[in-house]
Amino acid sequence: MPNTIIIGSGSYLPTRIIGREYFKDSVFYTDDGDRIDKPVDEIIQKFVEITEIENRRYLEEDEFNSDLAHKAAKEAIDDAQIDQEALDYIIYASNFGEVNVDGMTNFMPSMSARLKNKLGIKNRNCINYDMIFGCPGWVEAMILADTLIKAKKAKMILVVGAETLSRVTDAFDRNKMIFADGAGAVVVKATDEENVGIIADSTICDNDVELNFLENAPSLKLDEDRKPLYIRMHGRKIYEYALKNVPIAIKDTIDKAGLNIEDIDKILIHQANAKMDYAMISRLFKLYGIKDYDHNIAPMTIQQYGNSSVATIPTMFDLIIKGKMEGHSFKEKGTIVFASVGAGMNINAVVYRFP
């Protein structure tokens, strides 16, 4: 049975840096629709203390989701040194599609079809799939790619995660300061080499009472137009859910690979907010009876790039493997974990070993 290895990566972070000053004239409301009377500087400072997000990236008005993906995908294809016509699939993770400046989402044609067109791929047998799976979308796209390769349905696949969340946030919601834009991509390939690539994965879908922890909803300001829908995050419920379930899911995946936490060199976890990520990693180590650990095992990008949903993990992977993230590198023939949690609620994890 073939294994799935990454042979190239790319990412694109919009050049527009959005700092705390961008939000200084904001008016914020509670989930109950009441105006928050605290000074906006105080609200922003409290937000930064919890999330550690100082900056984030927003796309320009004339840019679109597929533009960001195109730049990341082209870089990944060039890095892999392949003929793009040899790609069997393009799997594109996104949750809002091609959002315009008015916040209208568009999935027709699909994001993967748009990307194939922008890349100029003429191969009619290159199949395009969209993956709508919440923030874990890119990780789930990797799991799907591995499944296709192991089933010998494909030999080479482009896996992309791109999102433009700045266009789907409510102007009156404090959580708008969490979200950002970006794109990341990898090219994966089948190999006969044993015990490399994706060596274990797991996915959990809790869609009962958890269904609306993340949802689309009207503005928190009740006298605003109720027709437009924005991303709405019920932070406390998500925090409690993630802390309870994500560490166990990661450990179960490591167990499935026949490994221990000491065998893992890096954990690339979705960057939702710093407080939650620190808590999840700490809880993971406690499952192994370990209280103190090297925090360098879990790189953090959220402080400067915000939460770009499906783009976060592939962007972080690309930055590290290309030496663009100070203090972090991948160990030769080392083993890493990809893990994410998001709307659905969905959780997934992958154990990946470099060839």
Residues 118 and 137 in one domain: yes
Residues 335 and 249 in one domain: yes
Residues 179 and 260 in one domain: no
Residues 130 and 17 in one domain: yes
The residue assigned the tokens 């490994």 is 259
Residue ending a domain, among 144, 166, 194, is: 194
Residues 180 and 254 in one domain: no
Is the pTM value of this prediction over 0.85?
A: yes
Residues 157 and 170 in one domain: yes
Residue ending a domain, among 140, 166, 194, is: 194
CATH of residue 341: 3.40.47.10
Q: How far is C-alpha 300 from the geometric centre of its chain's CA atoms? A: 13
Q: What is the pLDDT along the chain (355 residues), one digit of tens a residue?
A: 999 999 999 999 999 999 999 999 999 999 999 999 999 999 999 999 999 999 999 999 999 999 999 999 999 999 999 999 999 999 999 999 999 988 889 999 999 999 999 999 999 999 999 999 999 999 999 999 999 999 999 999 999 999 999 999 999 999 999 999 999 999 999 999 999 999 999 999 999 999 999 999 999 999 999 999 999 999 899 999 999 999 999 999 999 999 999 999 999 999 988 999 999 999 999 999 999 999 999 999 999 999 999 999 999 999 999 999 999 999 999 999 999 999 999 999 999 999 9
Range of the domain at 85: 3-194
pLDDT of residue 45: 96
Residue ending a domain, among 145, 161, 194, is: 194
Q: Give, in order, the Cα–Cα distances in Å from 248 to each of 41, 280, 293.
A: 38, 10, 17
Residues 182 and 274 in one domain: no
Residues 213 and 265 in one domain: yes
Residues 8 and 150 in one domain: yes
Q: How far is C-alpha 259 from the geometric centre of its chain's CA atoms? A: 25
pLDDT of residue 272: 87
User: Which residues sit opposite 171 in a β-bridge?
Assistant: none
Residues 179 and 64 in one domain: yes
Residues 306 and 179 in one domain: no
The total number of structural domains that make up the chain: 2
Q: How far apart are CA 269 and CA 25, in angstroms?
A: 32
Report CA dihedral (212, 213, 219, 225) to the nearest 10 degrees.
-10
Residues 136 and 48 in one domain: yes
